[in-house]
Chain A
Amino acid sequence: MTDGATIRAVVNTFVFALASVVTHIGLGMLLALGVHRTMTRGTKYFVRTAYFFPFLVSWAAVALIWKYVLDPAFGLANYYLSTTTNWLASPTWALPTLIVVDWWHTIGYTFIILLAGLQTVPAQLHEAARVDGANAWWRFWSVTLPVMSPTIFFATVITFIGAFQIFDPMVIMTQGGPDGATRSIVQYTYEKGFQSFEVGYAAALSLVLFVVIMVVTGLQFRLSRRWVHQ
């Protein structure tokens, strides 16, 4: 269990999960705040639908579409970014690229959850803070954030657990490559259990996954007492 490949897979999964949580919650919050304002109905409808659409598409389809979007010869990405980077074949860029694709796929979910949380913040609280002379930033910090903290906590835990089980894009887009740069724990489990038939090794790996998820989720619940309002 201490071979380089296992450690690499655990590190990759941690990097993926951490980046996933930060980008989903951070940008998801900005999006929710951006949409939770007075806007014309049409604009609101378009923005909400556009950001949510990718979430409806299965990972298999998402991974295949993005393989072509990222194609160095005829893909959309390189044309508009004016580069010739082979994103999925680069040891440096492959994992960050998958993080971006995952963000594209699931941000709609985080966004809707956070928007629903934002809508539960009572307008009177904002009004009261405004009367007391609090500026927009201070109102966000002292009213919105505390009231929303259970929602943010929930979204964080769910995003983390989902990211830790990541499998589909690695298998379809990179097969864990180049040179193990994108191999995740679940994918390594699959390779061991169903490709090289080391069932015991696979079982041990999935136990590692379980322990990590339990420990990190437990830690999140423990830390949550400091910042989540019950």
Chain B
Amino acid sequence: MGAPVKGKLLDLILVLGGLLMIAPLVWLIVNALSEPINAFQLPPQWIPRPPTLQNFQQVPDLIPFAQMGWNSLQIAVLTTAGALLTSALAAYAFNRLRFPGRDQIFSVLLAALVVPVQLTVVPIFIMMRWLHLVDTTVAIWLPALVNVFGIFFLRQYISSIPRELDEAAIMDGAGHFWILFRVILPLARPGLTALGIFVFEASWNNFFWPYIFLSSPEKMTLPVGLVSLQGAMGGGPAVVLFAAITLVVLPILVLFLIFQRSFIASIASTGIRA
């Protein structure tokens, strides 16, 4: 077999594999767009005939979808903004300032990097109960305002920015906040973007934490809301659930197609797995 033929064959296998990968997602969207009597047919349908939006209209009758979307968005935005701010401040302190115990504190933080969040959920749950914050969105974003990985990642990033720039600013009479916000962070923008994309995505998709802390439908985030919808439907039409899942999944896929380049760069540089 010649090399070009072999190459074409490999291309074909990869493309068929790719089609297989997206098949469940296509099936999801096709069924979400189908009338209940036409959905889930065998052999499976790959084009909705005729397409309808009626399933989407029924989603709000079963779960407070808009409220859940707002909760998810609010939590993701607060978490991302908070984590970026605290990580930048701490990263600056750990890289640019000298204070007693700096390196010891930093190594304790590094140890916290390998502690899974699942380990902290029981004590934090007890704390949140004392504070009467269980079943509020605060319980989700408050513990996420400090992100140990973010501190570590930005510290690495900032350490590659030349100190001469700080010194020049100090000569001009600049304080630490000025140096951080006017000199260092503008130069660290790719790092901040990469971290921001990932903190946002991890928060948006998070299931474990909201599942444990949130129980009222109007407090839930979308991933927990979807699972509660499945429980609430009983024998109801799965097409409505599929419509709700589509509403959660489709915006992310479209955003990815638009920002693919920075998204992939973000993974390749941070290596974070949500």
Contact of B119 among A49, A109, A159, A206 (CB under 8 A): A206
Give the Cβ gap from A149 to chain B, nearest Cβ, in Å: 15
Give the Cβ gap from B108 to chain A, nearest Cβ, in Å: 15
Q: How many residues of B contact A (CB 8 A)?
A: 62
With a 10 A CB-CB cut-off, give which of A56, A109, A167 has the most chain B CB atoms.
A56
Give the Cβ gap from B99 to chain A, nearest Cβ, in Å: 29
A207 and B121 CA atoms in complex are apart in Å by 12
B268 interface residue, CB < 8 Å from A? yes
A7 interface residue, CB < 8 Å from B? no
- B205 and A116 form a contact (CB under 8 A): no
A23 and B25 CA atoms in complex are apart in Å by 22
Chain B at the A interface: SS class: helix
A29 interface residue, CB < 8 Å from B? no
Residues of B within 8 A of A (CB): 7, 10-11, 13-15, 17-19, 21-25, 27-28, 40-44, 114-119, 121-123, 125-126, 201, 204-208, 211-212, 222-224, 226-227, 230, 238, 241-242, 245, 248-249, 252-253, 256-257, 260, 264, 267-268, 271, 273
A164 and B273 CA atoms in complex are apart in Å by 13
Contact of B19 among A35, A50, A74 (CB under 8 A): A50
Give the Cβ gap from A115 to chain B, nearest Cβ, in Å: 8
A210 interface residue, CB < 8 Å from B? yes
A13 and B157 CA atoms in complex are apart in Å by 35
> Which chain B residue has the least Cβ–Cβ distance from A194?
B212
- B114 and A154 form a contact (CB under 8 A): no
- A106 and B116 form a contact (CB under 8 A): no
Give the Cβ gap from B231 to chain A, nearest Cβ, in Å: 10
Chain A at the B interface: SS class: helix
Give the Cβ gap from A219 to chain B, nearest Cβ, in Å: 13
Contact of A214 among B10, B114, B118 (CB under 8 A): B114
Give the Cβ gap from A213 to chain B, nearest Cβ, in Å: 7
A230 interface residue, CB < 8 Å from B? no
Give the Cβ gap from B225 to chain A, nearest Cβ, in Å: 9
